């Protein structure tokens, strides 16, 4: 067997893609290795969402170029590949930047890997076309202990002015409900206890299928599968969350009470500049509706600090909305100009780097405080925890609403066991509990 080392940067969709890549490669003479110095093939699965992620990928390629040169001097030939969003965006240009690259394949070319692996034995190759990848007939080498990623749709039609995803993942495409259910049944039969449905906008699921299916129907069908497991999903576009979805989560036994709903800014003018299709009031109404209907629900979000032309006052609106809506947790980032995007062209309105850093820091402090406040609500509550890890003798798991819990009662548990835990104390990022 040849050895492949894969370095995955970016989101859960990329992690899921890497599991698919490794699954396919295992059928064609490759096994995964965790030491880049021992690999026959090095692959970086890239993210293009921020320049920082792109720089990280390029730095990996720089290091691997040096490894390849040293190996060549020792008479050991190795190959280097790049895939994911940067590969899809840059295509052959990457050969100019990194002349020692052997393989470039885009986000929609994963199922072509069997041919590509043969071809790189003879020549270097670039495949970054629009072929859909969602249907996969190969095994998947899942890397999570009790959680399995399950992509249900890919791509995005929204074209938010700051986002490069529509250019890297293409237009929205959904898998058929039969295909999703088949993979879900396989996951359950393999003993996984949690299925996380993935998509750029999961609520858009089914729009292109024209068979009357939609996200709520898919959730109901998954909820009806036999077995003791949980279902999660991410991410949701605020105004695409339907009453039917909320009702389905409310009435379900297996679907966890969490919604990840990126808001991006708490100011209407900035939301408009971002080409988001909602205003603050609409977002507020959705959060209110979810909270009114679903007990103990966690609502998380994403925010960007320092979008072009954002004033300090407009940035403060973001800080205020986190408090007002009691958002449980938010991912944050400083605005990073991306190629092809409308906001990337607003050069004369870019916010100074120092100012962006300052706003990001303030935003992070706000998110930390919000997370602690959210955790404090659960002190003395009895919550179901699914154990997924043990570290230094302390078992850890997650509640249905995705809070990390450390079990501090010195008992022995099984990974994958469901327990009821009484929350005794909390910190910013986790809760401490005893089982009952
Ligand atoms: S909804 Fe907007 S931010 Fe999300 S992937 Fe689509 S374009 Fe990007």
Assess whether the C-beta atom of 201 lies below 6 angstroms from ligand 1. yes
Going by alpha carbons, the residue nearest to atom 8 of ligand 1 is: 163
pLDDT tens-digit series, residues 308-338: 999 999 999 999 999 999 999 999 999 999 9
The answer on pLDDT for 133 being more than 60 is no
* DSSP single-letter state for residue 429: S
Q: Collapse the DSSP code of 118 into the 3-class scheme (helix H, G, I; strand E, B; otherwise coil) and give the result.
A: helix
Assess whether the C-beta atom of 158 lies below 6 angstroms from ligand 1. yes
| Mean pLDDT calculated for residue range 177-202 | 96
- What's the pLDDT score for residue 136? 65
Instruction: Please give the share of the chain, as a percent, with pLDDT higher than 70.
Output: 98
* DSSP single-letter state for residue 255: B
The answer on pLDDT for 87 being more than 90 is yes
Q: How long a stretch of residues is the chain?
A: 436
Q: Collapse the DSSP code of 135 into the 3-class scheme (helix H, G, I; strand E, B; otherwise coil) and give the result.
A: coil
- What's the pLDDT score for residue 179? 93
| Mean pLDDT calculated for residue range 208-231 | 96
Q: Could you tell me the distance, in angstroms and rounded to a whole number, from the CA of residue 265 to the centre of ligand 1?
A: 14
Terminus-to-terminus CA distance in the chain, angstroms?
48
Assess whether the C-beta atom of 200 lies below 6 angstroms from ligand 1. yes
Query: Which residues lie across from 300 on neighbouring strands?
Result: 260, 329
| Mean pLDDT calculated for residue range 241-245 | 98
Backbone angles phi, psi at 103, to 5 degrees: -140, 130
The answer on pLDDT for 345 being more than 60 is yes
The answer on pLDDT for 134 being more than 70 is no
Strands 404-407 and 329-334: what pairing?
A: unpaired
- What's the pLDDT score for residue 132? 62
Which pLDDT band holds residue 412 (cuts at 50, 70, 90)? very high
Q: Which atom of ligand 1 is nearest to the CA of 163?
A: 8
Rg, C-alpha atoms of the chain: 22
Q: Which atom of ligand 1 is nearest to the CA of 164?
A: 8
> Cα 77–80–83 angle (5° rounding)?
160
Q: Which atom of ligand 1 is nearest to the CA of 235?
A: 4
The answer on pLDDT for 191 being more than 80 is yes
- What's the pLDDT score for residue 135? 64
| Mean pLDDT calculated for residue range 132-153 | 81
Assess whether the C-beta atom of 111 lies below 6 angstroms from ligand 1. no
Going by alpha carbons, the residue nearest to atom 2 of ligand 1 is: 160
Query: Measuring CA to CA, which residue among 384, 391, 386 is closest to residue 194?
Result: 386
Backbone angles phi, psi at 320, to 5 degrees: -65, -40
| Mean pLDDT calculated for residue range 260-271 | 98
Q: Collapse the DSSP code of 415 into the 3-class scheme (helix H, G, I; strand E, B; otherwise coil) and give the result.
A: coil
| Mean pLDDT calculated for residue range 143-172 | 93
- What's the pLDDT score for residue 241? 98
pLDDT tens-digit series, residues 3-57: 999 999 999 999 999 999 999 999 889 999 999 999 999 999 999 999 999 999 9
Beta strands in 11-115 (DSSP E): 30-32, 41-46, 79-84, 103-105
Which pLDDT band holds residue 144 (cuts at 50, 70, 90)? confident
The answer on pLDDT for 235 being more than 60 is yes
Going by alpha carbons, the residue nearest to atom 4 of ligand 1 is: 200
Which pLDDT band holds residue 353 (cuts at 50, 70, 90)? very high
| Mean pLDDT calculated for residue range 262-268 | 98
- What's the pLDDT score for residue 375? 98
164/48 Cα distance (integer angstroms): 7
Q: Which atom of ligand 1 is nearest to the CA of 275?
A: 2
Q: Could you tell me the distance, in angstroms and rounded to a whole number, from the CA of residue 156 to the centre of ligand 1?
A: 6
Assess whether the C-beta atom of 248 lies below 6 angstroms from ligand 1. no
309/95 Cα distance (integer angstroms): 36
Q: Could you tell me the distance, in angstroms and rounded to a whole number, from the CA of residue 199 to the centre of ligand 1?
A: 11
* DSSP single-letter state for residue 351: P
Q: Average pLDDT, whole number, for the chain? A: 95
| Mean pLDDT calculated for residue range 179-191 | 95
- What's the pLDDT score for residue 140? 85
Q: Delineate the domains of the chain, giving CATH numbers in brackets.
A: 2-127 (3.40.50.12160), 147-376 (3.80.30.20), 382-435 (2.40.50.140)
Query: Measuring CA to CA, which residue among 126, 130, 123, 135 is closest to residue 97?
Result: 126
User: Picking from 70-79, 140-149, 238-247, 342-351, which range would have the lowest pLDDT averaged per residue?
Assistant: 140-149
pLDDT tens-digit series, residues 54-68: 999 999 999 999 999
Q: Could you tell me the distance, in angstroms and rounded to a whole number, from the CA of residue 68 to the centre of ligand 1?
A: 37
- What's the pLDDT score for residue 203? 97
């Amino acid at each position: 067997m040849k050895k492949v080392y894969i370095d995955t940067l970016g989101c859960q969709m990329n992690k899921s893609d890497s599991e698919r890549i490794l699954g396919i490669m295992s059928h064609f003479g490759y096994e995964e290795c965790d030491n880049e110095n021992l690999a026959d093939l090095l692959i970086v699965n890239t993210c293009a969402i921020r320049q920082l992620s792109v720089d990280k990928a390029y730095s990996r390629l720089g290091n691997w170029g040096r490894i390849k040169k040293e190996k060549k001097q020792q008479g050991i030939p190795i190959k280097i590949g790049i895939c994911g969003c940067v590969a899809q965006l840059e295509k052959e240009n990457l050969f100019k930047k990194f002349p020692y690259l052997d393989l470039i394949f885009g986000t929609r070319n994963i199922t072509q890997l069997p041919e590509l692996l043969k071809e790189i034995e003879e020549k270097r190759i670039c495949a970054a076309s629009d072929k859909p990848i969602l249907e996969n007939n190969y095994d998947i080498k899942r890397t999570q202990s009790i959680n399995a990623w399950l992509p249900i749709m890919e791509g995005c039609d929204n074209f938010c002015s700051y986002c490069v995803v529509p250019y890297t993942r293409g237009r929205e495409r959904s898998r058929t409900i039969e295909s999703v259910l088949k993979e879900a049944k396989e996951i359950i039969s393999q003993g996984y206890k949690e299925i996380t449905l993935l998509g750029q906008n999961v609520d858009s699921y089914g729009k292109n299928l024209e068979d009357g299916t939609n996200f709520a129907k898919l959730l109901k069908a998954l909820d009806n599968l036999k077995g003791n497991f949980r279902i999660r999903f991410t991410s949701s576009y605020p105004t695409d969350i339907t009453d039917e979805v909320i009702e389905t989560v409310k009435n379900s036994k297996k679907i966890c009470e969490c919604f990840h709903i990126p808001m991006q800014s708490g100011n209407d003018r900035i939301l408009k500049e971002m080409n988001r299709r909602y205003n603050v009031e609409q977002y507020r109404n959705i959060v209110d509706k979810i909270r009114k209907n679903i007990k103990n629900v966690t609502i998380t979000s994403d925010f960007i600090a320092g979008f072009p032309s954002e004033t300090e006052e407009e940035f403060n609106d973001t800080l205020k909305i986190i408090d007002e809506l009691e958002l449980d947790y938010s991912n944050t980032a400083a605005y990073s100009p991306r190629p092809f995007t409308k906001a990337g062209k607003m050069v004369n309105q870019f916010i100074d780097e120092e100012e962006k850093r300052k706003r990001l820091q303030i935003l992070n402090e706000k998110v930390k405080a919000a997370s602690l406040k959210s955790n404090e609500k659960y002190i003395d509550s009895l919550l179901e925890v699914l154990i997924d890890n043990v570290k230094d003798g302390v078992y850890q798991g997650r509640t249905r609403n995705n809070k990390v819990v450390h079990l501090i009662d010195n008992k022995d548990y099984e990974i994958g066991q469901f327990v009821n835990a009484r929350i005794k104390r909390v910190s910013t990022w986790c809760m401490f509990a005893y089982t009952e």
